[in-house]
Structure 1
């Protein structure tokens, strides 16, 4: 079953369970998936990699919003955002730990043959594709820069 189908199934389950946070979150994800499908010419179903990319983006936005709400003393809104992010993370692949990220980036550097920070773009192109959804782009970039320096 594809990730998109799992989200549709999750919407049905959330309606039956009357779980409003889960239902709202999954409907929001579904809206973005439909927009992505229509923007690319009305395809039937998105690839799982595209769905992960969309959900990752939404989860990051939610986390950023929660941090902003916390700084502004709005714990109620921050808690709501974090609850939605938790639902989104159920549909994302497990995030890499710092050690796993280091090993993955070392392997990519060895594979590309990069020697200095000047070749960071070559490494980032491969790393961004290979680690998409499993690590934040900023973390990947920082690790690549650290290992090439």
Structure 2
């Protein structure tokens, strides 16, 4: 069993003992999502810590999007619960990059892609291919893509 999955299970046990309903519910749902991912496909397998982080990132993104939707729908108390659930999940994710750190990483990747001859529309794919492994879950994909587009447009 991966270290992160063990940590989630241990934290779930603690949350249940402390009668922390919010944390218990979030950790239960997250562990279920991890298990579903493990049994998806032709054969069951155990996820690596990186794959577990991807599942947690996906769950956190769902919470952010739901909070926005509830806020726009005039249900602020439900939106607040979604944000609280997202905050619990954030504890298990790597520290997110600041805008400046992201811009610096993208700048390096743009320079590398251009040195490799990538120009025009092809440059976007080339830059993303270079920058994604360096970011590895520390920034949301939409944020990265927006920064790449911005820097490519700036020339």
In structure 2, list runs of 5 or more residues that go unmatched: none
Return the TM-score normalized by structure 2.
Answer: 0.88
- 1:141 positional shift: 0.6
Q: Let me know the Cα RMSD of the aligned residues.
A: 1.5
Return the TM-score normalized by structure 1.
Answer: 0.92
Answer with 110-119 or 64-73: which moved more.
110-119
Which ranges of 4 or more aligned residues in structure 1 deviate by more than 6 Å? none
1:145 aligns with 2:149: yes
The residue that corresponds to 2:119 in the other structure is 116
Q: Residues 15-94 of structure 1 correspond to what in structure 2 (within 5 A)?
A: 15-40=16-41, 41-43=43-45, 45-94=46-95
How many residues are paired up? 148
The residue that corresponds to 2:10 in the other structure is 9
Alignment match of 2:131 (pick from 124, 127, 132)? 127
- 1:8 positional shift: 0.8
- What is the alpha-carbon distance in structure 2 between the residues aligned to residue 110 and residue 3 of structure 1? 35
In structure 1, list runs of 5 or more residues that go unmatched: none
Other structure's SS at 2:137 match:
coil
